Amino acid sequence: MEGIFLVPIDGNGILICRNLWYTFVIFVNCNSVPSKSFDFGASQTPIKTNAPLISHVDQINLDFKEKEVEKYAKEHKLGYVNLRNFPINPDALVLVSKDDAVEGRFVPIHAAGKELRFAAVDPTNAKLKEIAASYTAKGFVVQLYLISEESLSFVLRLYDKQAEKVGVKVLELNEDALESYDKEIAKMSALVEHFQSMSDVDILNAILLGSVKTHASDIHFQPEKGRVLLRYRIDGVLHQIFILPPDIYENILTNLKFSASMKLNVGYKPQDGKLNFQVTGRQIDIRMSTLPTEFGEAVVMRLLDSKKSIATFDSLGLVGRNRAVLEAALQKSEGMLLVTGPTGSGKTTTLYTVLHMLNTPDVKIITLEDPIEYHLENISQSQIRETEGYTFALGLRAILRQDPNIIMVGEIRDQETADIAVQSALTGHVMLSTVHTNSAVETIPRLLNMGVKRYLVGPALNTIVAQRLVRKACTACRKEVPLTGKIAAEMTAAMTEAKKAQPELEIPSVNHIYEAVGCPACGNTGYAGQVALFEILNVTKAFEELILAEATPREMIAQAQKDGMVTLYQDGLLKVLAGLTTIAEVMSVTSA
């Protein structure tokens, strides 16, 4: 509609001059304009309001622009939507980053199953076409709607705020699903035969339920040429479950990435996300990580059972002098307790057990974790976000202003964190943390290499716990073997050394040990469950003096053993004699 119009508003008005391309708005005083100069039709009904005139000018401009876009959409047979009146689906926003949305001049507004709706200012935009094509290639149906620049700006302003509302997604696995898959999961390889008749959701359900049934800690998808390997990590060891066809894996990957709030169209760089699923009243949290590889995106999912009970010293395998030293360390009101070992050695589990024992109403406990693996009542747990600048060092400085008694820092990995942790331990706080070293004694040079002053290390440290995890021999199928020959001689020599360190040490008197066999009860692995091996160093005055004197690691080990330390290898052999594990397991994680 072209022409010149006057719209009266409470004695004033706006003069609208409009042609096909532009709309001009001019403020006028209606008292100075002869009414007969203009022909007011039905569409120029006076607006009765007490609101500021400028708001009505803006609204009229917006309405005209929306009508123009709607008209253009009809002419080109495109859908049209005004996003100011459209409920944006928060799940859709995670499909496209804000940067891509700005570059493509579009926003995702709806996502349901394989149906996506994009709303765009310019349907010919190259970035829009690229992203739409990437989703189409993955089996999505993409519908395009035309929007105005104002609609786009409106959603972009809300983009970050709405994206923050997108939390962890939940996959519901009910009792019926569990029952229907139960027999098939018992023989996971048999599922391959049913893949062609199973939906993508059914296959994913089977994989997730299988991980629960086998007590897996991780699920691995590893793309190779023409196939994708599915593996579970059970009791610390990877087991191949079956091989997935690439097309089925792509559909599963899309489902998982969507549930984990990852960008579906990004496969060229790593992504991290979170989701969870619920089964039989339990919530299993998942930390998901993707990595671009030669043949597609590899995925690793760490499973965390929120209902899993906190371990006890008994279940960890802490006995005798090791247990007594650690319990004594927990009675101290200041100082540092460090747990050390490689990734996957159970350090976090041990720290959570310690926190559980220290968690009483008369103390304040704060943790810094990356990530928070288990939620503990009456403890303030803070999640590190290094990509946003929230580091262990920054968090630790903030914690000291929160008046804590006990602090747990997930890991000491740099000088700043180490310095603050040491100072905290020296100023009336109990400090718990982890470091990556191979033995208890090696923690000392590690702290020194980080830049901690030598004269501060000894006074700050109370106890160092080095540990490893070994698999427990399956009691249903383990086989007795005689304790003779070379193995008997080596074990006798090791136990003699351990007896020197701990004269009170009770060594089991047996004439046999066990080997792993394998049976249906343990999935034919020969093992079921895990137990920890410990090496606990009590920092005595004599040991402090060695640190100051720049003693060698060998001299420190000798002093630690003199103070009663049993090595990882020796503790492992004790557990072999007790029938808990096998020589092969101990040798795989320790050296004599």
**Which tokens hold the place of 264?**
């579906």
> What is the C-alpha separation between 333 and 67, in angstroms, rounded?
72
Of 213, 208, 216, 223, the C-alpha closest to 239 is 216
Q: Count Cβ neighbours within 10 Å for each residue of 396-413 and write b for 16 or more, e otherwise.
A: beebeeeebbbbbbbbbb
Element (H, E) at 302: strand 296-305
> What is the C-alpha separation between 465 and 338, in angstroms, rounded?
6
Prediction pTM value: 0.70
Q: Residue ranges of the alpha helices (H) in 170-297?
A: 175-186, 200-213, 246-259
> What is the C-alpha separation between 219 and 313, in angstroms, rounded?
28
Three-class DSSP labels, 325-390: HHHHHCCCCCEEEEEECCCCCCHHHHHHHHHHHHCCCCCCEEEEECCCCCCCCCCEEEECEHHHCE
Structural domains in the chain, CATH included, are: 3-75 (no CATH), 79-166 (3.30.300.160), 170-305 (3.30.450.90), 313-589 (3.40.50.300)
> What is the C-alpha separation between 276 and 287, in angstroms, rounded?
9
> What is the C-alpha separation between 260 and 177, in angstroms, rounded?
21
> Does the structure show a pLDDT above 70 at 12?
no
When pLDDT is cut at 50, 70 and 90, the band that residue 592 belongs to is: low
Amino acid at 547: I
**Can you give the pLDDT at residue 161?**
57
**Which tens digit of pLDDT belongs to each residue from 330-354?**
999 999 999 999 988 999 999 999 9
When pLDDT is cut at 50, 70 and 90, the band that residue 64 belongs to is: confident
Pairing of strands 79-80, 23-29: unpaired
Q: Please give the full DSSP string across 463-524, using - where no structure is assigned.
A: EEEEEEEEEEEPTTT-EEEE--HHHHHHHHHHHHHHHHH-TT------SEEEE----GGGTT
**Which tens digit of pLDDT belongs to each residue from 134-176?**
888 877 888 899 998 888 888 887 665 544 443 444 455 554 5
**Can you give the pLDDT at residue 280?**
72
Cβ atoms of residues 191 and 241 within 8 Å = no
**Which tens digit of pLDDT belongs to each residue from 166-212?**
344 445 555 455 555 555 544 544 555 555 566 777 788 888 888 88
Chain centroid, CA 587 distance in Å:
32
Of 453, 450, 459, the C-alpha closest to 427 is 459
> What is the C-alpha separation between 52 and 251, in angstroms, rounded?
54
> Does the structure show a pLDDT above 50 at 409?
yes
Q: Residue 223, preceding bond cis, omega within 30 degrees?
A: no
Mean pLDDT, residues 31-35: 45
Cβ atoms of residues 575 and 508 within 8 Å = no
**Which tokens hold the place of 560?**
């630690």
